């Protein structure tokens, strides 16, 4: 899922200072699961914004809402039937949701309330770790299911590099070297010979370096 964390409240107050009627809008997708932008977080942020304005003697009206997903036109369009008035949306969705609202609602300012950080999973409660960088050309079948794009500091396709020390990455000494992990896992699976295959030079255009990417599924389009 997409992982995000709420921006510091002072930053959100600063970016929304010009507005008197704000809709704090959560998303019931990934940001709810990682406790960054679900209904609970909407309630908390709305209260903090009201308190902040009160402390500064500013008049402010903060409404609360949430969409099933902010990354889907169908749900963003449902804002048309919103009853309250607002002149800005503070989105608690990931950056995709903020972009989607900005694309579809040309007359409304939209502000990001969270920092979108990575695609990850949760190995234990309250902790999320990056697992995938959405590179558009998955190589996990070659690497024992462990991602060298997202999890190697240099995104090496043929690792480890010379800096790998005692199983740790030379860039971050507290982080396991993913190429050591790939080696150990392939060895454990009795597939260590896969380490000897040299991956060809990679075409990074699928990773978005050539501009925004788009996927079209003909079987799903109308
Ligand atoms: S190789 Fe690419 S698609 Fe596969 S997990 Fe890594 S970043 Fe994601
Ligand atoms: S030490 Fe391992 S994880 Fe770190 S940059 Fe080198 S190969 Fe990548």
Q: With respect to residue 145, please indicate whether it lies within any of the assigned structural domains.
A: yes
Is any ligand 1 atom within 6 A of the Cβ of residue 10? no
Probe target for ligand 1 pocket from 1, 133, 143, with the most ligand atoms within 8 Å of CB? 133
**Do 13 and 62 fall into the same domain?**
yes
Is any ligand 2 atom within 6 A of the Cβ of residue 170? yes
Burial (CB count <10 Å: 0-12, 13-18, 19+), residue 67? buried
**CB atoms inside a 10 Å sphere around CB 212:** 6
**Do 169 and 196 fall into the same domain?**
yes
**Do 85 and 140 fall into the same domain?**
no
Q: Which of 118, 146, 166 is the last residue of a domain?
A: 118
Q: With respect to residue 220, please indicate whether it lies within any of the assigned structural domains.
A: no
The pair of structure tokens assigned to 135 is 């590179």
Residue listed under structure tokens 């079987």: 219
Cα 85 to averaged position of ligand 1 atoms, centre (Å): 42
Cα 151 to averaged position of ligand 1 atoms, centre (Å): 9
The pair of structure tokens assigned to 71 is 């990354």
**Do 108 and 24 fall into the same domain?**
yes
**Do 83 and 175 fall into the same domain?**
no
**Do 102 and 183 fall into the same domain?**
no
What are the backbone dihedrals phi and psi of residue 111, each rounded to the nearest 5 degrees, phi first?
A: -120, 145
Is any ligand 2 atom within 6 A of the Cβ of residue 165? no
Looking at 92-194, which runs of residues are DSSP E strands?
Answer: 109-112, 114-124, 127-132
Q: With respect to residue 151, please indicate whether it lies within any of the assigned structural domains.
A: yes
CATH number assigned to the domain comprising residue 54: 3.40.50
Residue listed under structure tokens 């896992």: 185
Burial (CB count <10 Å: 0-12, 13-18, 19+), residue 221? exposed
Q: With respect to residue 127, please indicate whether it lies within any of the assigned structural domains.
A: no
**Do 77 and 167 fall into the same domain?**
no
**Do 78 and 183 fall into the same domain?**
no
* pLDDT tens digits, 82-117: 989 999 999 999 999 999 999 999 999 999 999 999
* pLDDT tens digits, 165-190: 999 999 999 999 999 999 999 999 99
Q: With respect to residue 174, please indicate whether it lies within any of the assigned structural domains.
A: yes
Structure pTM?
Answer: 0.90
Q: With respect to residue 70, please indicate whether it lies within any of the assigned structural domains.
A: yes
**Nearest residue (CA) to ligand 1, atom 1:** 138
**Do 19 and 54 fall into the same domain?**
yes
**Mean pLDDT in residue range 29-38:** 97
Q: Which of 118, 144, 162 is the last residue of a domain?
A: 118
**Do 37 and 108 fall into the same domain?**
yes
Q: With respect to residue 126, please indicate whether it lies within any of the assigned structural domains.
A: no
Q: What is the mean pLDDT of the chain?
A: 95
Q: Which of 118, 152, 167 is the last residue of a domain?
A: 118
Contact 52, 24 (CB under 8 A): no
**Nearest residue (CA) to ligand 1, atom 8:** 132
**Do 91 and 142 fall into the same domain?**
no
Which residue range forms the structural domain that includes residue 202?
A: 133-207
Beta bridge partner(s), residue 111: 90
**Do 39 and 112 fall into the same domain?**
yes
Q: With respect to residue 149, please indicate whether it lies within any of the assigned structural domains.
A: yes
**Overall number of domains in the chain:** 2
Probe target for ligand 2 pocket from 143, 146, 148, 152, with the most ligand atoms within 8 Å of CB? 152
Q: Characterize the bridge pairing of strands 61-67 and 88-91.
A: unpaired
In whole angstroms, what is the distance from residue 222 CA to residue 216 CA?
A: 11
* pLDDT tens digits, 113-147: 999 999 999 999 999 999 999 999 999 999 999 99
């Amino acid at each position: 899922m997409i992982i995000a964390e709420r921006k510091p409240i002072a930053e959100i107050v600063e970016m929304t200072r010009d507005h008197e009627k704000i809709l704090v809008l959560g998303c019931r997708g990934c940001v709810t699961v990682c406790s960054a932008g679900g209904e609970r977080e909407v309630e908390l942020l709305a209260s903090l914004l009201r308190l902040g304005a009160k402390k500064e003697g500013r008049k402010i009206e903060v409404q609360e809402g949430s969409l099933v997903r902010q990354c889907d036109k169908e749900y963003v369009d449902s804002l048309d039937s919103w009853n309250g008035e607002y002149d800005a949306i503070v989105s608690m969705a990931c950056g995709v949701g903020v972009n989607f609202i900005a694309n579809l609602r040309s007359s409304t300012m939209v502000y990001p309330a969270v920092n979108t950080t990575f695609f990850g999973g949760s190995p234990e409660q309250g902790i999320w770790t990056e697992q995938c960088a959405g590179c558009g050309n998955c190589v996990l079948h070659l690497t024992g299911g462990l991602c060298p794009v997202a999890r190697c500091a240099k995104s090496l396709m043929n690792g480890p590099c010379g800096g790998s020390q005692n199983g740790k990455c030379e860039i971050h000494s507290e982080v396991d070297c993913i190429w050591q992990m790939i080696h150990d896992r392939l060895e454990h699976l009795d597939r260590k010979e896969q380490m000897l295959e040299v991956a060809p030079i990679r075409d990074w255009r699928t990773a978005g370096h050539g501009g925004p990417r788009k996927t079209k599924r003909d079987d799903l389009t109308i």
